[in-house]
Structure formats: structure tokens, C-alpha cells
Amino acid sequence: MTRTTPSTRTAEAPGWAPTLLICAFIATAQMTWGAVVPVLPIMVADQQLPTAVLGPVIAAFAIGRVLVNIPAGLALRGVPPRALMLATCLLLTAVTAATGLVTDPALLVVARLVAGVLGGAAVTVGFSVLLAGAPSARRGRVVAVATVVQMSAAAVGATLGGAVVAFAGVAAAFAAAAVPVLLVTIIDVIRPARAYWSSFERASAPAGRPPVPRGDRTADLALVVALAAVSFALFFARFGIEQGLVPVLAYEQGGLDPLGLGLALGAGTVLSMVALPFVGRAVDRGARTAVIAVSGIGAALAVVAFGLAAEPIGFTAAIVGYAVATSVANVVPGVVTAEAFPGTRSGFVVGVTRTAGDVGAAAGPLAAFWLAERFDVSIALGVVAAVLAALIGWFGVVVLRQGPAASVPAAT
């Protein structure tokens, strides 16, 4: 009988408990900004500041994220990931809670900038560790679970912020937004996700590895660009369409009221959460190009449908179809990143793709509303649909050219 030692336990593939803990780091870091979305306008009004202050405040947070994504990924090459994550989350907790006490507009902008840096770093580190440590046989399911946890946290975060600010005020709402990430940090201090932290270190390439052949470097560069393109496309559409034109169209032509729109968005979230585990299992069994093709085509068609649906049922169906398709489109890029860029290499790639996504989030609303105003809503929707189909399709071609990953066994 083989005796299990601490060293052999460390080498075991991570189970679902540590997986959920790493996912919780990512999700609760994102909750620190999702929870304060309904709070910031009230904070500005309570302090009798001009509404225009919200522009720099919101932009400062986004700028912080853009500035930190790639540096945080590169920092993983020299800094232990667990130490970096714990320190970042503790600082994020403190800054988020303290922001509720700020009364000076300039300090508020600075606080949100710092929160953007810390939050972006936590998410980049979390995803890098998750992708590096996910067992090869179930990477698709791990990425799917991470997406489900994020979606759940986003819904809970907005509800938490709105409820607390309504009953206890702005300062309490910021403090409440900081509590979940603090709890997850404490849990990891007491019972760390050791399998992931150690897996990240084991997966990292040794300093003396042979140089990468030039052809492989070219293929790696093409894959990084394709991964960044998918991230850009999804955020471009999310902020330009889902959070931009869709609410306007829902009220003007779709026949939905605010409650109906909320229910439609909620239905899209719920069905996405139901579908993702099955999609993750399919990806683990090798159905990658099929998932990429279906999600890309489905997302593009749903965007076009927003311009055609003129009654509640049709518009709701378009919202649900769009939500499911874009959620599914996130799975394969995460799996491919984990396989092609193991260990500390994943940090840089995650940083690049997240930066591309943030750029897409900024460009999406500007492009969509400009096109709708300058030409027509149908033109705006057509352009966004074309961007989705073209960039997701390009990613699919790059993945197909690379062929199946030999290191990935069939899921059981």
C-alpha cells in the first residue's frame, strides 16, 4: 500500500474546493467595483458635487485596470503568486472601504484609480493561477465554473451595493463591497488553495530551458494576437450593445419596460449558467472548433436580431441568445491559454487579453452610438456583429491550424 506524503499530496491535481476558492478571489475582486456601481451617483449627489464628476471617477478605475494588467502578469515571473494575491486583496479591501469616507473629488478620483490597479491585478493573478493549475482533463469545466462564479458575483454585487446604500448609506455600502474579498482572503490564509499555488510554480518553465524556436515564437505571437482579438470583440459588443444600445432599443422598439428588460437579462444569465458546465465538458472532450463556430455565429446573429425584433418575445429571445452565445465564447480562449502558455507565461498573456478587453470596453459604446447617430442603428448593429464574427472566426482558424493539444487526455 502506498503511503501518501505531504509532497505527494501537493503534486495531486487540484480538486473543486481549491478551484472554487481561486474563482472566488476573482469574483469577489470584481464585486468590489460591481457593488459600488449603484452607489457612486448617490455619493456624488450627497456631497453636492456636479454629476460630471462621475466621468473622471469611472474613467479612473478603468485606467487603473488598463495600466496594471500586463505588469501584474509579468510580476508573476518573480513574485510568488499567493503572496502577491493576498497582499493585493488586503490592500483592495482597505482602499475600497476607505473610499466611502472620501469627500474631496480629487481624492475620490485617486481612490478609484488605486482601486482599479489593485482590482485589475487581483483578477489577472487569479486567472493566471487558475489557468496554470487547472487539470488538463477538465480545463474546459474549470473555465466554465469560473465564468459561472463571476456571473453570480456580478448579480450579487449590484444587489448588495444597492441594498446597503438604501438602508445604511454610502460609507456602509463601500465597506460592504470590501467584505467578500476580505473573507476569501481570510479563508485562503486559514486553508490555502495549495494545489493551485504550487501547481503554478511547478508549471513555470525552468530558467535553463532551451530557447524557443523562431517558428514556435511566431505561432505563439499569432495565438496571443488572436486571443486578444476575441477578448476585444466580446467586450466591444458587451459594452457597446448589451450595456449600450440594447436598453435603448428594448424601450423604443422591443416593447419592454425596465422590469421586462431586467427579467430578460436575468433569464440570459441563468440559462448561460446552466449551459456552461455542459459546454465545458464538451470542450474537454475535444469539441473546440464547434464551440467557437456556434458561439461566434450565434452572437453575431443575436446582435443583428436586436434590430429586427419589434415585440417583447422576440427581443427577449435575442437577449437570451446573445447572453448564452457570448458566455460560451469565453470558454475555449481560457483553455487554449492554459495549454499554450503554462506557468508564469500565462500571466503575460492574461494581462494582454484583459488589456485588449478593457480597450474594447472603452471603444464599444463610442463606436456603437456614433454609428447609430451618424448612420443608423442597423449599421451599428451590423458593424458590431461583423466584428464579433470576424474576430471569433479568426481565433477559430488559428486554433484549428494548431491542431489538437496532445497533452489533453479525454475527460472522464
pLDDT in the model for residue 13: 67
Q: What is the pLDDT of residue 404?
A: 55
Which CA distances in Å does 246 have to 266, 309, 319? Answer: 14, 11, 8
Helices 345-374/214-237 angle, 10° precision: 40
CA–CA distance, 129 with 364 (Å, rounded to integer): 29
Which CATH superfamily does the domain covering 214-402 fall into? Answer: MFS general substrate transporter like domains (1.20.1250.20)
- The pLDDT value recorded for residue 310 is 86
In this predicted structure, what is the pLDDT of residue 411? Answer: 34
pLDDT at 320: 92
| Residue 412 in this model has a pLDDT that exceeds 50 | no
How crowded is residue 299: how many other Cβ atoms within 10 Å of its Cβ? 27
Highest mean pLDDT among 95-109, 137-151, 191-205: 95-109
Residue partners of 89: CB distance under 8 A and separation at least 6:
25, 29, 122, 181, 182, 184, 185
pLDDT at position 409, please?
34
Query: What are the tens digits of pLDDT across the range 281-319?
Result: 888 888 888 999 999 999 999 999 999 988 999 999 999
CATH 1.20.1250.20 fits 14-202, yes or no: yes
**DSSP string computed for 79-121:** S-HHHHHHHHHHHHHHHHHHHTT---HHHHHHHHHHHHHHHHH
Contact 298, 247 (CB under 8 A): no
The single-letter code of the amino acid at 318 is A
Q: DSSP strand E in 291-384: where?
A: none
At 135, list the grid cell: 487539470
Q: What is the pTM of this model?
A: 0.79
Residue spans per domain, the chain:
14-202, 214-402
Stretch (H or E) spanning 301: helix 288-306
What is the per-residue pLDDT across 367-398, written as a single tens digit (0 to 9) for each?
Answer: 888 898 889 899 999 999 999 999 999 999 99
Q: What is the pLDDT of residue 42?
A: 84
Q: What is the pLDDT of residue 46?
A: 85
CATH topology agreement for domains 14-202 and 214-402:
yes
pLDDT confidence of 343, banded at 50, 70, 90? Answer: confident
Q: What is the predicted pLDDT for the residue at 213?
A: 47
| 339 in Cβ contact with 320 (< 8 Å) | no
Q: At what angle do helices 331-340 and 345-374 cross, to 10 degrees?
A: 150
Q: How far apart are CA 319 and CA 161, in angstroms?
A: 25
Query: Using one digit for the tens of pLDDT, what is the confidence trace for 264-282?
Result: 888 888 898 888 889 988 8
